[in-house]
Amino acid sequence: MSDYEQQLAQEAELWGSDAERSAQTVPPDWRYHRHLRHNIVYHTHDIDEFLSHVHPGMTVLELGCASGWLTLAMAQRGAKAEGIDISEKSLNVARQYYDSIRDSVSGSVIYRAADLNALELPAETYDVIAVKGTLHHLMRMDHVIAEIHKALKPGGLLWVSDSDGEEKMSTALVASGLMFVLPTHVSYRDKISGLIRFGTRAPSRIKASIEAEGLSPFEGAGREHDWVKLIGQRFQVERRIDAPAVTGYITHQLRMPDMLALPLLRVLCAVDRLLVRLKILRNTGVILYARKSITTM
């Protein structure tokens, strides 16, 4: 087995185990995922808005579907949906849940495993292709975007939600300050100890944490590629939505009951988005709506 194949197997195992653990507490279904804290704060509106573009009878695809909740959500809107992921474990979670509710789904779902770096898709097949949190893991991003373009029908929609580029140190500094002040999963005693130990290196460690450095073999493999630019070269970009810069990270770290956390995080998210718009903070999270031209490119 080559080094790449070993890394691929490790990647699949990591995310497969994560999908299995998550499904033990929250079914892989948007009707349940929408109530998770991070989705309530900054994802629910965006996901619902995307799903409003999916209509009965459409043929749709999700790349990097993991446990399949977004693929399933498209099928629940009447689409003929397909989900592709590297992890058979994740896909088994998706299949088992779909089988358990199949009779209540107005559309249909199939799931299959594939290495997205070697992706091959049929030409002019899909009305909508969704890619969430996946591109920054890919080494052959340009190839994948080219395959997406080929596979969409003329006028078809590409929806991408992902991080673009490296986190700025200014963002890490703000996140470091919030992490130090707010109650998180790290005790204040350990925070003070870490500040003494790492000193001026502490923001760099937060930056690496925000970027999930070392989380998986392919974490950040595509970070050097500008997927927003690559998509703009092949598609007509209809809309770009900039995510908040630090709210997502803080949301996952905050240790506080929802009745207290949610109002605080909503205020933080609003201020965060304003600072991003004013270019005081630089976000990396981006949602892009792009359309394949009706004319041949």
For 78-113, the DSSP string reads T-EEEEEES-HHHHHHHHHHHHHHGGG-SSEEEEEE
3-state secondary structure of 283: coil
Whether residue 297 has pLDDT greater than 50: no
Domain range list for the chain = 3-165+218-245+282-291, 167-210+246-281
Residues 111-170 have pLDDT tens digits of 999 999 999 999 999 999 999 999 999 999 999 999 999 999 999 999 999 999 888 888
Q: Which CATH architecture has domain 3-165+218-245+282-291?
A: 3-Layer(aba) Sandwich (3.40)
Greater model confidence, 176 or 238: 238
Rounded distance between C-alpha atoms, residue 275 and residue 247, angstroms:
12
pLDDT band (50, 70, 90) for residue 200: low
**Any residues with CB less than 8 A from the CB of 77 and at least 6 apart, and which?**
51, 54, 55, 56, 106, 107
Give CA–CA dist 73/47, Å, rounded.
Answer: 10
Q: How far apart are CA 269 and CA 261, in angstroms?
A: 12
Q: Within a 10 A sphere around the Cβ of 266, how many other Cβ atoms?
A: 14
Characterize 94-114 residue by residue with b for buried, 16 or more Cβ atoms within 10 angstroms of its Cβ, and e for exposed. Answer: bbebbeeeeeebebebebeee
